[in-house]
Structure 1
């Protein structure tokens, strides 16, 4: 009897594990995702675990050779995910800012509601508290962290091979993530990109935000390793953005509509505003169209980034051909 009970408990434990990681069909979102380990990227990266948090939110744990670690990714699947189990979906990457994580967009905005009637697969990857969407120089040694390789090669291949992601991609991000959005858009992998308070011209102020985050591990020293800084500065490569739909927004650091009017000016937002203006000026000199919202008073804060996301969202969806979910239009 004791052996039988142990066997029952073991089977129950296996069933519970399967429910958490694989999400059966009756959980509402079990169709069309690869089982952990079932698909790999070219370098062997794979999904080590997955957990459904609700009917649309799926958290992945990806074993990444580029990172020499397991990294997290949050997905918001389209509302029609179950009813069209063989459909490839247009993709929106949302990139988080400094000192935050992959959970920030669902924690601090209404992105789940915003996308609730649109057939788009939203991808929110971990990028480290200060990873800056780059493969780090590491004093010339290279190696991990390699955030760009993780996002644009490993994760992209896994999503396309196991999670029905199509090659119709857009990217948006805030602060550090705004930098990542424009840097990644210059690879040719994205049809549209949006930056909210983005660090878009880091070489114009190497003693600013970046100096407070790194010694020289990211791109090296700004003078001695200037070619590396240039290679990683979006403003120096705006000619690569012809044909990409673009949106850039930033406040000027003064207290705005969502702030206590007595608060001091925000030096970080003032800096990224100046860098965003530099980036837009370079775009226009290169005859690359861009939509901007330099809205004046506004600080480096989530209410403004949610406002920016809502403003950019229709353009991003048009660029990738995302449509209203069937029956929800």
Structure 2
């Protein structure tokens, strides 16, 4: 394991209880959606330049396209999704030239945090200006707020929402059939998306050849009170996600990357997280995260200099997962640094890890 730790500032110490917050909601996942393995359609790229828009309900073997907008390489789609019980979204960045030999495209999946905002990923990571992605199909996957890359438990009834089923049972075969996506895939995720990247990789062997988590919620069973606080903060029933962490512990474990670490053996994984304190990319007047009532454990308050309790929790979980992966002999690299739960740090980590991810696409 390559363990880079450039954190600064005092070690964690007891401090007065502070009301601070979860920036992206935290995450859970429930029952399984089988990944589709459809034969890739012929590869194609978006027409250079110009804008196209199609409306009205084109059927695609299980998912109905309500709207399709094209602008150069960028494609925005809205589906009528059975798994989500209504409209669902997807953004693609298509390659800018025909595939040599006409074969399928290698694919980079990008997973957003708890707000599910897939449209923010393009600019945040400068995806359309990277020369190394000109021959890669980039899938920017939407999910509902606090969707946690899971089919929700809902008291045993299941979804909707069924986020995993949407991504892997509807989006995956769609991009294979209609946009030439191939079987060589890697995945990167921010915050809750880091959970999604590792949980999907572990739960569906062979789905991704490498995975990266930036400030990911990678061991939710470690902090169930944070799951409760995050879900409640956005008006959701936290028990609808995976059930009760005691009574349905097995369901929590079945989605928790920490408890699935053995399944990640053989898959290159990168993990990164900050310490929750102001770091080099924060402005001089950096403010604490907004308040999420119930996030902080009164028995273990956050130190006074922690601006981002969420990031402090993500760091703890990321370290625990890294040690467990090393114990299983998994190929893991890590970067622990000073900084908060902020997109500027995720963008930096993406710059660091993209070359390694792309190497696994052949």
TM-score normalised by the chain length of structure 1: 0.82
SS in 1 for 2:115: coil
- How far, CA to CA, are the matches of 1:85 and 1:28 in structure 2? 26
* Cα distance change, pair 85–59 in 1 and its aligned pair in 2 (3 A): farther
User: Following TM superposition, by how much is the alpha carbon of 1:316 offset from its aligned partner in structure 2, in angstroms?
Assistant: 0.9
Counterpart residue number, 1:112? 128
- How far, CA to CA, are the matches of 2:262 and 2:65 in structure 1? 36
- How far, CA to CA, are the matches of 1:36 and 1:164 in structure 2? 21
8 A Cα contact 1:36 1:50, kept in partner: no
8 A Cα contact 2:108 2:186, kept in partner: yes
Counterpart residue number, 2:73? 56
TM-score normalised by the chain length of structure 2: 0.75
Identify the match of residue 131 of structure 1 among 129, 147, 151: 147
- How far, CA to CA, are the matches of 2:219 and 2:182 in structure 1? 30
SS in 1 for 2:242: coil
Q: Larger % of helix: which?
A: 1
**In the alignment, is residue 277 of structure 1 matched against residue 310 of structure 2?**
no
SS in 2 for 1:256: coil
- How far, CA to CA, are the matches of 2:87 and 2:340 in structure 1? 34
**In the alignment, is residue 205 of structure 1 matched against residue 202 of structure 2?**
no
Q: Which runs of 4+ in 1 moved over 3 A?
A: 23-30, 83-87, 115-118, 261-264
- How far, CA to CA, are the matches of 1:121 and 1:248 in structure 2? 23
Identify the match of residue 164 of structure 1 among 158, 169, 180: 180
Stretch deviating more after TM superposition (126-135 or 255-264):
255-264
**In the alignment, is residue 242 of structure 1 matched against residue 261 of structure 2?**
no
- How far, CA to CA, are the matches of 2:136 and 2:357 in structure 1? 10
- How far, CA to CA, are the matches of 1:121 and 1:268 in structure 2? 32
Identify the match of residue 99 of structure 1 among 107, 115, 126: 115
* Cα distance change, pair 157–241 in 1 and its aligned pair in 2 (3 A): same
SS in 1 for 2:240: coil
- How far, CA to CA, are the matches of 1:26 and 1:178 in structure 2? 32
Counterpart residue number, 1:8? none
User: Following TM superposition, by how much is the alpha carbon of 1:115 offset from its aligned partner in structure 2, in angstroms?
Assistant: 5.0
8 A Cα contact 2:110 2:141, kept in partner: yes
Name the larger-Rg structure. Answer: 1
Counterpart residue number, 1:37? 58
Counterpart residue number, 1:77? 94
Report 1:126-275 matches (<5 A).
126-186=142-202, 187-188=204-205, 189-213=207-231, 214-263=237-286, 264=288, 265-275=307-317
Number of equivalent positions: 290
1:267-298 superposed Cα distances (whole Å, 9 cap, x missing partner): 00000011111111110111101011112x11
8 A Cα contact 1:97 1:177, kept in partner: yes
Q: Larger relative contact order (C-alpha < 8 A, sep ≥ 6)? A: 2
- How far, CA to CA, are the matches of 1:283 and 1:103 in structure 2? 32
Unaligned runs of at least 5 residues, structure 1: 1-22, 322-329
